[in-house]
Amino acid sequence: MRLWVLLALWFIVCLSLILAQKQQVSLARGKRRRGEQRRGKKVISSQLARQGGVPVLNDAGTTIFLKSYKSVNEQESNYNIIPGRSGQCQYMGITMFDKAVWSPKPCVTCLCSEGSVVCDEVACPILRCQLPYTPTGECCPVCKDHVSNDPSEPDLWLQRTPAEIEEILRQEEEEHREEEERLRRKDEEKRKNKKKKDREAAERKARDELRKAEEERWLREEAEAAEERRRRQEEQRKHEEERMKTMETEQRLMLKALEEAAERAAERASERQTDQEEEENEEIEWLRGDVFQMPPLEPTAVGLPPLPPLSEPVEPTDEEENDDADSEEVVIQSTQSLPKGCTISDVTVNCDNAKLSSIPPLSIPELKSLSLEGNDITAIPAGAFNGIPNLEWINFGKNKITSQNIDPQAFKGLKLLSRLYMDGNLLEKIPTALPSTLQELKINENNLCEINENSFAELHNLITLEMEGNVLSESNVDPQAFITLTGLSYLRLGRNHFRTIPQGLPPSLLELYLENNVIEEISEGAFNQTYNLNVVVLRHNKIDESRIAPLAWINHKTLESIDLSYNNLYLVPSFLPKSLLHLVLVGNKIERIPGYVFAHMDQGLEYLYLSYNKLDGEGIEPESFIGCLQSMTELCLDHNQITSVPNGINEMTSLHFLRLNNNQIRNIAEDSICDPINEEDSQLVALRLENNYLDLRKIPPTTFSCVRSYSSVVLRPQKIK
């Protein structure tokens, strides 16, 4: 029996020695490979063991330690969870029902138990392998090579010789050195990159300083230029003042000369009257003597009848107009007979707001301009301008003249009349028999309700025609009315009742203004005859993009400016003219700028105004500005709902003015406005970003590096978040 006991003890001792040797080999094998990692890790499990829980985030974002739910009394779940039942838990803003289990992060499982959240960490098994690793998304390591953790299977390390173990340890040492060498090279690379970044930062700083110096030089030159302009303006003002003083002096001298001439004329008239009375007396005395003798007659000048008294002026005859001395007397008499409130200066008579009820009788052949604005004149009779036949400009604005009270022959004698203003009267039709020399005719704010084919007959030289604020429409305007206006360039028909573009417009037309009408569509043939158009203004109408015909104006070669503000547009219209440079779309309901909408234009759009619309973060596509990136000069996107700087802004190399104020922009990327790759000098001189939701402290310092002057970047005020 003792022998068996001794053998059993000896077997136990041998088995203990073998197990001790195995543990020594395992420790030597993993000591070098995991030494560095062990020093860099925190012993979380021991802390959790001491604290009895694991860290999780509460609703406020702070870390708390919750007790392990292993200590919670087990309760059998019936899986019949009713919302609103008592015992619910709040975790990260989410309501968890009682007995709910979830995993907030790998290796951690949480349980809702009677209103309390308890969490526990998954325990990883002990591995018995040579190269364990932790897969992505897992919390426990696994073995690369299949090694059984079953203690009943034989351990392969026990079958290795000391030489093989030494070789394995040596390989691990080499791998460790290679890892250190790799880390050293990585650190060296980081240092080189840091030096490179420092060098680039220094170069960038130098460029910024150079740019700043250039900006200061440019500002100094601008200031000098402004000072030079101010000096020139001051000199011009002084010169103008001197000229005005000279003119006043000349006028005073002229008036004085006229007064002296009047006095001399009065003296001569008095002397002539006295001589005439003496001659009559002598004739009477002689007749009383010898009736057969005739008195000696003195020679008299032909064409000089006796002058009437100054108190009774008469109109001069044709012979008197040819005589210089008598013409001087006529001018004097006309000047003395000007109505109260009228003034004369050079060749202009001004009777504005003089409370006149009729055209004053004037006889000044040299007169060129007559202004009668703001009176109570109701009629223009025949012969009203007989004494002033050389008039070139007449202003009848703001009177009470009606079409029935204009004599058909009223303007017949005015062979030089070029400008006629009749704004603010009571005219219902165009005056007849207007001079063919007329170049500018204004009949705004009247009651015009008819234009027939003969309304502008003989007006071949008319250049400007304004008929705004009347009751004109396509129903009372004859399409043949404009045929005779072969030289018309400028036509204003705003504030009328047109529903379509008027027909029959002359080919010579350059600018057409139709604002404040009720135009709903632009047909395909609306501008077929006006192929020289340069400006079209259609603001304050009822046009939407679906009512603009594709061929309405796309092929126009000279149409450069279109104003469609305050209409019913929801999109930027397609098929715009190829020659377009200036597009105004303010105050519509535009929600989107379609891609490539400007790509077909020949020269590229230069001015685009989209203020006061409904553009948001998705309304501007990356291809929206294709075709105008190199030509855009002014871009206004203010008073919209834009949430970020639109794509393509940093590629606009010719942009001078950019307005993004009064939007919903919350952040600005460093390269959204200034392209760091573009080394050309920027043209941007003004940038508006106020009234957004920007945090000025979070704007990168190089965001506005391409703006020529930082003082022209407007950032304040910003809206309160």
Q: Domain segments of the chain: what residues?
A: 45-72+85-147, 186-289
Average pLDDT over residues 113-140: 75
pLDDT confidence of residue 681: 63
- Residue 227 pLDDT class (50, 70, 90 cuts): confident
Query: In DSSP terms, which residues pair with 53 in a beta bridge?
Result: 67
pLDDT confidence of residue 160: 65
Residue 260: pLDDT above 90? no
Please provide the size of the chain in residues: 721
Spatial separation of the C-alpha atoms in residues 275 and 610, rounded to whole Å: 85
pLDDT confidence of residue 319: 42
pLDDT confidence of residue 86: 59
Residue 472: pLDDT above 60? yes
pLDDT confidence of residue 596: 93
User: Residue 716 region, left (φ>0) first, then alpha (ψ -120 to 50), else beta?
Assistant: beta
Residue 69: pLDDT above 60? no
User: For the ranges 247-256, 364-373, 489-498, which has the lowest average pLDDT?
Assistant: 247-256
User: Residue 677 region, left (φ>0) first, then alpha (ψ -120 to 50), else beta?
Assistant: alpha
Residue 150: pLDDT above 70? no
In angstroms, how far is CA 246 from the centroid of its own chain? 47
pLDDT confidence of residue 109: 83
Contact 315, 333 (CB under 8 A): no
In angstroms, how far is CA 309 from the centroid of its own chain? 70
Nearest CA to 636 out of 676, 595, 682, 686 is that of 686
What tokens were used for 180?
């250190």
| Beta-sheet pairing, 393-395 with 490-492 | unpaired
pLDDT tens track for 1-25:
667 777 777 778 777 777 766 655 4
Average pLDDT over residues 124-134: 70
CA angle (673 as vertex; 671, 675 as ends), nearest 5: 50
Phi, psi of 178 (to 5 degrees): -60, -40
Burial of 426 (C-beta count, 10 Å sphere; 0-12/13-18/19+) = middle
Average pLDDT over residues 709-719: 88
User: For the ranges 100-114, 246-260, 641-655, which has the lowest average pLDDT?
Assistant: 246-260
pLDDT confidence of residue 628: 93
CA distances from 111 to 54, 89, 128, 427 (A): 13, 9, 32, 91
Comparing 610 with 39, which gets the higher pLDDT? 610
Nearest CA to 535 out of 475, 607, 480, 591 is that of 607
What tokens were used for 425?
């009267």
Contact 605, 633 (CB under 8 A): no
Residue 332: pLDDT above 50? no
Q: Which helix (H) or strand (E) holds 40?
A: helix 2-40
Spatial separation of the C-alpha atoms in residues 159 and 552, rounded to whole Å: 94
Q: What is the CA radius of gyration of the chain?
A: 50
Average pLDDT over residues 470-480: 93
Contact 588, 562 (CB under 8 A): no
Helix (H) and strand (E) counts in the chain: 5, 26
What tokens were used for 496?
């009328």
Residue 687: pLDDT above 90? yes
Contact 694, 669 (CB under 8 A): no
What tokens were used for 640?
């919209």
pLDDT tens track for 40-57:
333 333 333 344 444 444
pTM for this prediction = 0.56
CA distances from 699 to 107, 142, 211, 617 (A): 40, 47, 20, 19
Contact 72, 105 (CB under 8 A): no
- Average model confidence (pLDDT) across the chain: 79
Residue 133: pLDDT above 50? yes
Contact 367, 338 (CB under 8 A): no
pLDDT tens track for 591-615:
999 999 999 999 999 999 999 999 9
Query: Which residue, chain included where needed, has tokens 């604002």?
Result: 515
Average pLDDT over residues 291-301: 36
pLDDT confidence of residue 232: 81
DSSP 672-689: SSS-TT--SPP---EEE-
User: Residue 604 region, left (φ>0) first, then alpha (ψ -120 to 50), else beta?
Assistant: left
User: For the ranges 170-179, 502-511, 525-534, 622-631, which has the lowest average pLDDT?
Assistant: 170-179
- Residue 318 pLDDT class (50, 70, 90 cuts): very low
User: 45-72+85-147 in CATH: which number?
Assistant: 2.10.70.10
- Residue 67 pLDDT class (50, 70, 90 cuts): very low
User: For the ranges 128-142, 371-385, 455-469, 701-715, which has the lowest average pLDDT?
Assistant: 128-142
pLDDT confidence of residue 562: 96
What tokens were used for 256?
């004085």
**Bond before 676 cis per omega within 30 degrees:** no
Number of neighbours of residue 430 by Cβ within 10 angstroms? 23
Residues near 305 by Cβ (< 8 Å), separated by ≥ 6? none
Contact 426, 447 (CB under 8 A): yes
What tokens were used for 314?
């008469």
Spatial separation of the C-alpha atoms in residues 309 and 326, rounded to whole Å: 14
pLDDT tens track for 234-246:
887 887 788 777 7
Phi, psi of 49 (to 5 degrees): -65, -40
Contact 571, 620 (CB under 8 A): no
Residue 677: pLDDT above 70? yes
pLDDT confidence of residue 46: 38
Number of neighbours of residue 421 by Cβ within 10 angstroms? 21
Phi, psi of 15 (to 5 degrees): -65, -35
- Residue 33 pLDDT class (50, 70, 90 cuts): very low
Residues near 114 by Cβ (< 8 Å), separated by ≥ 6? 87, 98
Average pLDDT over residues 106-133: 77
pLDDT confidence of residue 392: 94
Number of neighbours of residue 24 by Cβ within 10 angstroms? 10
Contact 406, 431 (CB under 8 A): yes
User: For the ranges 200-209, 215-224, 278-287, 439-448, which has the lowest average pLDDT?
Assistant: 278-287
